Amino acid sequence: MAVRPRIAVTGSGRGWDSADFWLYTAIRQAGGEPVPLTPRHPRSPETVHGVLFSGGTDVEPGRYGGEAKPGYRYEPDRDALEADWLDRALAQDLPILAICRGLQLVNVTRGGSLHLDARQVHHARDYPGPGIWPAISFRKRITVEPGSRLARITRQASLWVNALNTQAIDRLGTGLRVAAREANGTVQAIEDLDHRFLVGVQFHPEFLLHRGHFRGLFRAFVHAVHERHHPVHHVREPIE
């Protein structure tokens, strides 16, 4: 790719963390140029060619009729910014990759809802212990839906993924389809096949770049961004 498409990566803007580093690394390895999109760096839609909605704090429950957790620090300014950008991206057919909180925001914005605490819905053994490193190193097996975009990208019937999420999809949003689940029924991936590229995953693929099929997910996303920005006929989605 001669010209790297600019991909907006959402975040709180309150500091740099390991997820940011690996997200930016994954996008650059795939041929894109990541730029921050936060309440402090709102940007203009004309300056980017795709959007990655990243992980982070819980989506404010008032957006889907839930109850706020006592003492929890939500980010309503980030929620508002990302919801607005999701609408713009959909209207302009910009490719979208949504990770963890990003998947949840897409679902809520489409009229879906969330389980406030996935551990209260499913047995605690399905989740790691407290702390960031147990969550990153923990692995659970998910089943990929045959015929889904995720199946075409990864060429896998099942995947072993991490588990950093505390929330999960309850009611699926309008126009979305499930692309992967884990054994307890938790939705682990969603997509919208009517959009150029809209894939959401509940896990964090940026921490799994040692596996080719997760690098392939970022490549497929960046490829879709590049094709949107510089159309080329009869070019297939790159897959691992």
State the pLDDT at residue 121: 66
Given the residues 75, 82, 206, 227, the one annotated as active site? 206
What is the per-residue pLDDT across 84-125, written as a single tens digit (0 to 9) for each? Answer: 999 999 999 999 999 999 999 999 999 999 998 776 666 555
The reported pLDDT for the residue numbered 130 is: 63
Please indicate whether residue 204 is annotated as part of the active site. Answer: yes
Exactly one of 49, 75, 82, 100 is catalytic; name it. Answer: 100
CB 69 within 8 A of CB 58: yes
Residues of the chain falling short of pLDDT 50: 1, 233-236, 239-240
| Helix or strand run (H / E) with residue 50 | strand 50-53
Q: Which two tokens stand for residue 213?
A: 């099929």
**pTM of structure:** 0.91
The verdict on whether 206 is a catalytic residue reads: yes
What is the per-residue pLDDT for 152?
Answer: 97
Tokens 């991936």 sit at which residue? 189
Give the SS3 label for residue 48.
coil
Domains of the chain and CATH, by start: 6-229 (3.40.50.880)
Q: Which residue has the tokens 């690098």?
A: 215
The CA-based diameter of the chain, rounded to the nearest angstrom, is 53
Please count the other Cβ atoms lying within 10 Å of the Cβ belonging to residue 152.
15
Residue type, 222: V
Active-site residue (options: 49, 115, 204, 223): 204
Task: Give the whole-angstrom CA distance, residue 130 versus residue 115.
Answer: 19
